[in-house]
Structures are given as C-alpha cells and as structure tokens.
Amino acid sequence: MTYPILSDWTTPFEIAPFADIADDDFAPALDQAMLAHNAQINAIASNPDAPTFANTIEALEAAGEQMDKVLSVFFTVAGADSNPAREALQRDFSPKLSAHFSGISSNKALFQRVADLWSRKDKLNLTDEQARVLMLTHRGFVRAGAALEGDEDARMQEIKARLASLGTSFTQNLLADERDWSMDLSEDDLEDLPGFIVDAARAAGKDKGADGPVVTLSRSLIVPFLQFSPRRDLREKAYRAWTARGANGGETDNRDIATEILQLREERAKLLGYASFADFKLETEMARTPEKVRDLLMQVWEPAKSRADEDAEILTQLMQADGVNGPLEAWDWRYYAEKRRKAEHDLDDAVLKPYLQLDRMIDAAFACANRLFGLEFAPLDVPLYHADCRAWEVTRNGQHIAVFIGDYFARSSKRSGAWCSAMRSQAKFPKVQAPVVINVCNFAKGDPALLSYDDARTLFHEFGHALHQMLSNVTYESISGTSVARDFVELPSQLYEHWLEVPEVLAEFATHADTGEPMPQEMLEKVLKAANFDQGFQTVEYVASALVDLAFHDGDAPVDPMAKQAEVLTSIGMPKAIGMRHATPHFAHVFAGDGYSSGYYSYMWSEVMDADAFAAFEEAGGAFDPECAKALEENILSTGGSREAEELYLAFRGRLPGVEALLKGRGLIAA
C-alpha cells in the first residue's frame, strides 16, 4: 500500500502534505521505510566491489530517504502537537528505531568497508569535505560499538534500546505532569495582575475547558505569574507544582528512570573503554574533557553566586518591607526582583510588553537577517500540522533558499520549551535540496500576542538556529546546518540574540500594540540598561544545573541521583532562594535523550564565544557591518560540521576568547 507520507510530495517546495497524513499511517509507513532502508544498507554491505568513497560513504549518505520522510513528520507533530495516539506511537517507535539503527552500526560487513576506507584515507584523493565525512562516519561507527564482539556487542544493543525507551518515557511523563496540572484563579486573584497575564490565564482556561482563568505549568504563563502575583500563597503553590514535575509519585515519576539512565550510560561508556560517560561524550566536543568544563563553570559560578547573594539581601529587605517575615524563598525571588527592577529602572513589564508584539518581533528577526545576509521572507499559504503555524519562503537575490515555519503559541499538546528543527536539511548530494526549518516556541496567546523581553530573546535565539540551517552550504546532509559539536551549536543562536538589543532595531520594531507609536527613547534606554538585571539569579540557576549534569556523568553513576544533586548543590553553596533551572526529575535536556547529557554546559561555552563574536561586529563597522556578516556566514553559518568547531571560530575571529567577555557581558564583573 502507498501512504501519502511516502509518496512524492507535490506540495509547494515539497513541504510535507500534513493534511493527507493520518496517525494510522505512521506505523505501517515506518515499517515500509525500515524495510527499504535495510535493503539499501544490505546492498552496500554486501557489494562485491572493493570499497570506495562513492559505493560506501556516499551510498550511506543517499540511503534512508523514506525514513527521513516518516521521521521528520512524525517527530515534528509528536513534539509540537501530541495526542494519545502519537504518544503511544512514540513508545512503540523508540525501541524499534533503536534496534534498527543499532543493527546498522553493528553490521560487521558494513563497518569493515568503512574501516577499510579509513585505513586508506590518505590515498583516496578525497576533498576536505569528503575526508571529514569519512572521519565522522568511521568515528560514529566506533562510538556506537561497531568494533565490539560477542556478548559485549549484544549488551550494547540492549543498552541503546533501553535508553531510547527510557528517554521517551521521561519526556511523556514530563508532558503529562505539565498538561494535567492547573490552578484555578478567581476574579479576585486577577485584580492585581497585569492585563497580559489575565488574558493568558483566561486563554489557558479556555484551552483546558475550565470554567474560568487558570495558571498552567507553561513557562510563558507561570513565570509572569510568579513575577507579578502579590498572593504569596498562590505563588508558593504554583512554584511547588512547577518544580515537582516528574517527581509526583505514581506512573509519571521520573526519578527511577533517571537512575537507570545514568547507570546504563556509565555501562555503555565502559564497554567502549572510557573511564566515564562524560569522558565518552566530551571527546567529540570543543571542551574535550570534564576538567575543562568544570573549570569554565566554576570561573563563572563564583562571581555569579557573589552577585546573587548581594541581590538576595536587597530582595529580603523589600519582602520585609511588605510585612513578610522569615527568609526569602524561591517563590518570592521573581516577585521581588520585578519590584526592584521597576524601582531601580522604572521599567514595568506590563507597560513594556505592548511594545513587544509577536508579529513585530518576527519582522525584526527577519529584517536583521535581511540586512546581514540579504535574506527575504514572503508568507506562504500552505497546509501545516496546526492552525497556529505559519510559513514563509526564504529567498536571496530571487533564488529560493529555504522554507521557514513558525509555531509560536503554547498549548497542552506541545512539550514545553523552545526548539529549532529541520524537516529537511540542506544538501547537494544525492540531489540538491533546500532546507525546511521550524521554530517552535511556547508564547502566550493574545490579540495581539505580546512578548516579555525574555520571550523576544527566545524568538531571536531560535531564529539564530534557523539561520544556521537555512544558510548551510555543504555537499553532504550529515554535516549540514546544525550538525556540529554540541558546545558549538548554540553559538549562532546566542549570537543572534544580540541583535534584539541593537537600539535601532528596537526603535524600529518595538511599536505599541494599540497606538502604533515606537517605544519612547527613555523606555528604550531603560530596556537596554536593564538587560543584565538579575544576572546573578539567572547565572546561578543555570550553572547549578550544568554542574549537576556534569557530576552525574563524571565518575560512577549515582545510586540516588536526587541525593547526588543535593550533594553538588551543598558543595557549591547554592543559595536557598534559587532553584536549579532544571532539577533532575524534569531535566529533559539531559534525560529525554543523549543530546545535552554531560553537555548542558554548552550554552555557556557558546556564550563565551558569542560575546566575543558580537564584539567583532562592534569593533568593525557596527552591528550590521557587511564584511563581518560575510565572514560570519562564510566561516560559521554556511559551513555546518565540515571542519572542527575550533577551526571554524578561529577562521572567523582569529583567536579563541576567554571567559572575561562573558562575565562582562552579563555584568558580573566591571566592563
């Protein structure tokens, strides 16, 4: 049987025909795609001809087109528009896909062909890009356990299958806890809240079918509620629910899952001959070793904690002035920090947000990309997977570059957070293909939709990832776009955040939702001056999470991760009134998959570079310096993983930065 998902996509720019794809199609279509992929792999492995780059490496690059179609669509909708059927499919697919890809990586005949080419690499007359793809392919096979034999090989396959299943369970438990909890608000509870929170709470209640407004565990709603609600009892209730995700007991509790994941990762690393999972994981990153990661984090921790301790004293005084005795608690920090921000910077989020309309911030992100890289964006009227989604054709000098899809609003069917993914990555082999890139966010709905300043930064951040995909210009998909070291992948996204803070960008695009007037110059100056406000808190909550992640994986796996978490936090003197940004039971970056395991530090590693990279623009002709933009595209945004990350950054900047630029950028030391 032919399924729409596997047929030739005759839609504009070959976007997935979402309207024609039923949930019932996914399982049989995946089975059919896996059979086709296995046939391609077996043909490569059993080829009687001697291995060549073309009949082995390029053949592997070209294989699996049907798999790409099924998985790109399925994982897009499973993450951004889940339902019970898709959740059940995810649970079924995880071990099935793990077994499928493990079968490829453990195919001895196939690995022998790759190893043969690797042994003759200097005699193959490969291009630099081909040599890179060969190295990465060989390394990928070895790190997947292709060189293991007998019982060790079999055990590796079991571990990978179990890890895939556990990661899916962790994600779905977290989504269930986020989806199932809400707190009803009475009309009295709304009285002292800004209009944008009231609107978001009413919209959330409507989405949940409640009788009135509610607070949910969506970050775009709960964080503003914690900032603005004067009801300390409600703040405590909401905060405790938010931080208890994945740790509520019962079927959705993630603590035992985290324990098993860590133990299996340690076993996996030791089967491959590494001292720890962190040693295994960091081998391919810029940082290389756990020691370098810890050194970076601790260089940032001390000044951040010092600033946070100073801030806590000020916030405690504000709280006591309100007649609240006792220590400052975690559910108090955001509320009194907002009061302090308003007092010190005369900046009220409720007054600021009407100037940060979602549509205008999208326009701003597009306009910056136009000035920097010549990209133009035209709306596309195409069926997508949800009514909230929008699409644009991206062109340059009249030539099609990419399709960009934005899915911006929070809903109960969408997992929390924000992310960028490519439904199709750029490549020139086996055929030329332009990317289809998606940004998924969780902003509160409104008419019009209004963003906090942090929301606006998130929008620019994810669009930076999208530019990395859209401007990619390599031959092979395996090194395209964001297929780079984990501690390098955040550089383009974090760097792009800086353009939101360029005064002329805000002056043009920060216009009032009701009057259309631009943000007053006085307010603009306050926004930019307050950009580093509360950086002690923000840095401490992040670095604490990164240090716990590293401790989990550097050495023997903890028998009790919660006890290990507590031990790490005690050892670094974690302030009582600040919680980890992601505590263990809801640390999806680390436990939903291997992506950021031992790698949550990478945001900060990239920030060391992004502060220095934006300084390159400032040292040149300013934020839109054309020569600097050209160098950024040629050496970083277009190159994907075609060279080592350190080499790419050196080509752009001429040197590697120190941590001082980050500390100055966050206002943690004097500029």
Do 78 and 140 fall into the same domain?
yes
Task: For 152-192, write each residue's pLDDT tens digit.
Answer: 999 999 999 999 999 999 999 999 999 999 999 999 999 99
The confidence score (pLDDT) of residue 36 equals: 98
Model confidence pLDDT, tens digit, residues 354-382 = 999 999 999 999 999 999 999 999 999 99
Asked if 122 and 26 sit in the same domain, the reply is yes
pLDDT, mean of residues 448-471: 96
Spatial distance between the Cα atoms of 226 and 236, rounded to a whole number of angstroms: 9
Catalytic residue among 61, 266, 393, 462: 462
Question: What was the pLDDT predicted at 348?
Answer: 86
The overall average pLDDT reported for the chain is: 96
Position 670 pLDDT exceeds 90: no
Give the predicted TM-score (pTM) of the model: 0.92
Q: Is 78 inside a domain boundary?
A: yes
Peptide bond into 84 cis (omega under 30): no
Residue 666 belongs to a domain: no
CB under 8 Å to 382, separation ≥6 — which residues?
Answer: 11, 12, 15, 391
Among 196, 230, 245, identify where a domain stops.
Answer: 245
As a whole number, mean pLDDT of residues 210-230 equals 95
Distance in angstroms between the alpha carbons of the first and the last residue of the chain: 65
Q: What percent of the chain has pLDDT over 90?
A: 94
CATH code (residue 382): 1.10.1370.40
Q: What is the pLDDT of residue 418?
A: 96
Same domain, residue pair 137 and 218: no
Q: Is residue 539 part of a domain?
A: no
Whether residue 602 is contained in a domain is answered as no
Which of the listed residues 227, 245, 263 is the one where a domain comes to its end?
245
Q: Is the pLDDT assigned to residue 347 strictly greater than 90? A: no
Q: Is residue 482 a contact partner of residue 469, using CB atoms and an 8 Å limit? A: yes
Residues 363 and 509 placed together within one structural domain of the fold:
yes
Cis peptide before 12 (omega within 30 of 0): no
Based on the fold, state whether residues 68 and 118 are members of the same structural domain: yes
Same domain? For 196 and 142 the reply is: no
Other CB atoms within a 10 A radius of the CB of residue 321 amount to 10
pLDDT digits (tens, 9 = 90+) for 96-154: 999 999 999 999 999 999 999 999 999 999 999 999 999 999 999 999 999 999 999 99
Q: Which of 197, 229, 245 is the last residue of a domain?
A: 245
Map residue 287 onto helix, strand or coil: coil
Based on the fold, state whether residues 58 and 129 are members of the same structural domain: yes
Lowest mean pLDDT among 70-79, 305-314, 333-342, 661-670: 661-670
Calculate mean pLDDT across residues 328-346: 95
pLDDT of residue 1: 77
Strand order of the β-sheet with 390-396 is 376-380, 390-396, 399-409, 436-443, 419-424
* Residue 623 counted as domain residue: no
Query: Do 359 and 495 fall within a single domain?
Result: yes
Contact 605, 653 (CB under 8 A): no
Residue 314 located in a structural domain:
no
Contact indicator for 258, 561 with CB cutoff of 8 Å: yes
In this prediction, residue 259 carries a pLDDT of 98
Same domain, 217 and 136: no
> Is the domain of 118 the same as that of 58?
yes
CA 496 to CA 668: how far, in whole Å? 21
- Residue 128's CATH number: 1.20.1050.40
CB 11 within 8 A of CB 27: no
In a domain? residue 459: yes
Residue 187, domain extent:
181-245
Query: From CA 292, how far away is CA 351, in angstroms rounded?
Result: 43
Per the structure, how many domains does the chain have?
3
| Residue 37 shares a structural domain with residue 83 | yes
For residue 206, which amino acid is it?
K
User: Is residue 665 domain-resident?
Assistant: no
394-410 pLDDT, tens digit per residue, is: 999 999 999 999 999 99
* pLDDT for 531: 84
653 near 612, Cβ under 8 Å? yes
Cis bond leading into 430, ω under 30°? yes
Residues 379 and 450 in one domain: yes
The tens digit of pLDDT for each residue in 70-104 reads 999 999 999 999 999 999 999 999 999 999 999 99
285 an active-site residue? no
